[in-house]
Amino acid sequence: MNKKIPNPVDVHVGNRIRMRRMLIGMSQEKLGEALGLTFQQVQKYEKGANRVSASRLYQMAVSLGVPIQFFFDDMPTSTQSVDLEGMAEGGAPDQLMDFLNSSEGFQLGRAFSTIKDANIRKRVLDLVKSLSE
C-alpha cells in the first residue's frame, strides 16, 4: 500500500502553525478547542497530513494572533526539494524548520527572542557563529 506523501506547501504551513503555537505556549488541545477540533486533527494539520482550508487557516490566524501571510513566510520559491539540490540554500528551509521544531531549537529561539538589548543579541549570534566554525 502506498503511503500518501504530503504536499510540501501543506508541510510548510503545518510547520508554521506548530512554530507559532509553541512560541506563544499554546497546547494542541487549546488550539483544537479554539477551532472546534481534536488535538489529533491539529497534529495532522501541523504534520501536513491534512490540508488546511482557507476558512480554517483564517481561524488559525485569528487564534494564533498572526496575519494569514505568516503561514507562507519563508516558503521556498520552489516547493520541490529536488529543484534546490546543488544550490547554496538547498535544504536550508527544511533544516531550519526541523531545528525550530526540536526542543533545543524551540528553547533557544524563545530565550533569544526575550533578549531586549540589540547589542547583546548580536553578541550571542556572534558567539553561536564562532562555536559552529
What's the whole-number average pLDDT of the chain?
83
Decide if 22 is inside a domain.
yes
Rounded to whole angstroms, the Cα distance separating 89 from 8 reads 16
In this prediction the pTM is: 0.65
- What does the block give as the cell for 120? 547583546
Q: Backbone phi, then psi, for 29, in 5-degree steps?
A: -65, -45
| Host domain of residue 61 | 1-75
Decide if 100 is inside a domain.
no
pLDDT score at 45: 96
pLDDT category at 75 given cuts 50, 70, 90 is confident
Are the CB atoms for 15 and 96 separated by under 8 Å?
no
Decide if 60 is inside a domain.
yes
Nearest CA-CA partner of 37 in 25, 19, 53? 53
Decide if 132 is inside a domain.
no
Long-range contact list for 74-80, CB < 8 A, 24+ apart?
74/16, 75/9, 75/12, 76/12, 79/7, 79/8, 79/9, 79/12, 80/8
Decide if 37 is inside a domain.
yes
State how many domains the chain has. Answer: 1
Give the whole-number percent of the chain exceeding pLDDT 70. 82
| Tens digit of each residue's pLDDT (9 = 90 or more) over 5-49 | 888 999 999 999 998 998 888 999 999 999 999 999 999 999 999
pLDDT score at 66: 95
Rounded to whole angstroms, the Cα distance separating 3 from 64 reads 31
| Tens digit of each residue's pLDDT (9 = 90 or more) over 79-91 | 544 343 443 444 5
Q: Within its chain, how far is the Cα of 52 from the centroid?
A: 14
Decide if 112 is inside a domain.
no
- Which range in 17-26, 50-59, 102-111 is most confidently predicted, on average pLDDT? 50-59
pLDDT score at 6: 86
Are the CB atoms for 23 and 37 separated by under 8 Å?
no
Decide if 98 is inside a domain.
no
Rounded to whole angstroms, the Cα distance separating 72 from 13 reads 6
pLDDT score at 110: 79
pLDDT category at 51 given cuts 50, 70, 90 is very high
Decide if 30 is inside a domain.
yes
Are the CB atoms for 111 and 104 separated by under 8 Å?
no
Return the CATH number at 56.
1.10.260.40
